[in-house]
Amino acid sequence: MPGKKFEVQAINDEILEKFSLKNRYNFLNNNLMSILSPNEFNFLKEVQRFCMRFEKKNEITHGPDEDIYDWVPAFGEQGYITRQHNFEMCDVNYEHWGLAPDFMRNLALDMFDPQFAMGGGATVLAINPVYEHHEHVPIRLEALKDLITGKSPGAILITEPERGSDAVHQLTTCTEQSDGSFLLNGTKIYNTNAPKSKWVVSYATAEQNNGNMMAQFLVNTNWEGFKVERVNIPWVPKLFLGKETFTNMRVPKEYILGSVGKGREHLFEGLVPERISIAIMGMSECWGALAHAVIYANLRKQFDQEILKFQGVGFLLSDLWAQTTNVTIGLLKFCEAYDEKFEKFQGNIPNNIKQAMVASASQFKYHAAKLSRKVCYESANLMGGAGLCDNTLMHDYLNISRIQEIVGGSRQIQQYIMSLSLRTLYKMSVS
Ligand SMILES: Cc1cc2nc3c(=O)[nH]c(=O)nc-3n(C[C@H](O)[C@H](O)[C@H](O)COP(=O)(O)OP(=O)(O)OC[C@H]3O[C@@H](n4cnc5c(N)ncnc54)[C@H](O)[C@@H]3O)c2cc1C
């Protein structure tokens, strides 16, 4: 692939050249042009043009030495960190915004570099609660602007060493002081971007193991009492995840996004866009891996034939392609419906609709994560040694696709949520 840095070239020049970002984008666009609206398609192509220019201008190789965090400011300046909102309160007014445009943004970024796209997704998890609860407090607006314009990555601190799936029974405490500030004590872990972030959003509780006493805080990582160490996740070696220790870290009043008693509600309100974003990431990975495998299978010859022509290859690729296309269309429909409702109810989607969306978000997160693992593995498998060596982004896809089922609530937790929804639906339906 032009620009790709590798130890030893394993794939021939002709095929490597055909893996260009331009060709992979073309494959995606030819698949999606009939289902995207003109606005969606134009925005997708706009972000793609930026990524292609950026890759070329900066001679990005996607090799192991590059720091993906170096690219954040440039993407932030273009408004490509998130398009879930238009952020007019920060004097930023995007033309294309909502979940569907954000799907387009992520498709383009993920094909450019999947680990970079995932890091951006984690920043969005810090952006959303500040967006929801800035209340026009200047320091919160400053943090929000820093995050959306790429001045700093962001991180969300929910998980603790002893509390993962059980996120509402936290051990990190917050103790109110006479001046209204809080002291935080405890440890968080696996927080994507935290070692690189100036701003993070953290949960803590006024009483350990009591979900009703949770609060939510905006934190400046330069404060005294905040310590961060890097946790290495070998499947995403370019991402910096943190283990953070709070030792009597003081959070001034104006940084409290949700007071004691509000934390749990704030945690849940962000779950639909968070899970949909992970589903979007999963589907973007499917397209990235498929683009490689389809190009390869059309060029690679064995037994004097393009391998696509052997049923074992062509039929498996068709199966992966059909599933990827279908889930993409379903997810896009959900995003469009969400955006319509967001506009209709001016951001205050009624609770009964929100409730139904929680189940859909779990369904998509569950399905897309599972599909990504399968499509990325099988696509690499269809490329033989070429899918496993370091000459292309395929090994990034293979590795990153294996963590999608854990982030944002594991497979079993999504199944648990869905089974509870089936109980509710039964009660609503059967008299
Ligand atoms: C790459 C990566 C990025 C991450 N980014 C962030 C981040 O930015 N911010 C953040 O706060 N966290 C983040 N996390 C943490 C992630 O959300 C947790 O790892 C996840 O919620 C699972 O928690 P755990 O690791 O403690 O596993 P556990 O909760 O201990 O789960 C272990 C196993 O038990 C199963 N299990 C647990 N409870 C049940 C149950 N009730 N029923 C059935 N099965 C169950 C789980 O499905 C899993 O298979 C990240 C993790 C990774 C790996």
* pLDDT per position as a tens digit, 159-183: 999 999 999 999 999 999 999 999 9
Residue positions counted in the chain: 431
CA distance 248 to 333: 46
CA distance 368 to 345: 28
CA 420 to ligand 1 centroid distance, Å:
19
> How confident is the model at residue 4, as a pLDDT?
62
> How confident is the model at residue 353, as a pLDDT?
87
**What CATH number was assigned to the domain covering residues 154-261?**
2.40.110.10
| Pair 172, 204: CB distance under 8 Å | yes
Domain boundaries, the chain: 1-112+270-431, 154-261
CA distance 363 to 353: 15
Question: Is the distance from the beta carbon of residue 174 to the nearest atom of ligand 1 less than 6 Å?
Answer: no
| Pair 215, 256: CB distance under 8 Å | yes
Question: Is the distance from the beta carbon of residue 190 to the nearest atom of ligand 1 less than 6 Å?
Answer: yes
Question: Which helix or strand (DSSP H or E) is residue 182 part of?
Answer: strand 182-192
Closest by Cα among 223, 266, 265 to 247: 223
CA 161 to ligand 1 centroid distance, Å:
10
CA 197 to ligand 1 centroid distance, Å:
22
Question: Is the distance from the beta carbon of residue 168 to the nearest atom of ligand 1 less than 6 Å?
Answer: no
Question: Is the distance from the beta carbon of residue 277 to the nearest atom of ligand 1 less than 6 Å?
Answer: no
> How confident is the model at residue 175, as a pLDDT?
98
> How confident is the model at residue 3, as a pLDDT?
53
CA 271 to ligand 1 centroid distance, Å:
15
Structure tokens at 167: 């996120």
Q: Which atom of ligand 1 is nearest to the CA of 233?
A: 1
CA torsion sign for 37, 41, 47, 50 is negative
> How confident is the model at residue 355, as a pLDDT?
82
| pTM, rounded to two decimals | 0.96
| Pair 44, 107: CB distance under 8 Å | yes
- Pick from 162, 190, 243, 281 the residue to mutate for probing ligand 1's pocket: most ligand atoms within 8 Å of its CB: 190
CA 404 to ligand 1 centroid distance, Å:
11
Question: Is the distance from the beta carbon of residue 337 to the nearest atom of ligand 1 less than 6 Å?
Answer: no
> How confident is the model at residue 7, as a pLDDT?
83
| Pair 175, 248: CB distance under 8 Å | no
Per-10-residue mean pLDDT for the chain, 431 residues long? 73 96 98 97 98 97 95 98 94 93 98 98 97 97 98 98 97 98 98 98 98 98 98 97 98 98 94 94 98 98 98 98 98 97 90 87 97 98 96 96 95 96 93 90
The phi and psi torsions of 240 (rounded to 5 degrees) equal -105, 110
Q: Read out DSSP for 216-241?
A: EEEEETTSTTEEEEEEP-TTSTTS-E
- Pick from 156, 165, 235, 267 the residue to mutate for probing ligand 1's pocket: most ligand atoms within 8 Å of its CB: 165
Structure tokens at 392: 């292309």
Query: Which residues have C-beta within 8 Å of that of residue 136, sequence separation ≥ 6?
Result: 89
What is the fold, at CATH topology level, of the domain defined by 1-112+270-431? Answer: Butyryl-CoA Dehydrogenase, subunit A; domain 3 (1.20.140)
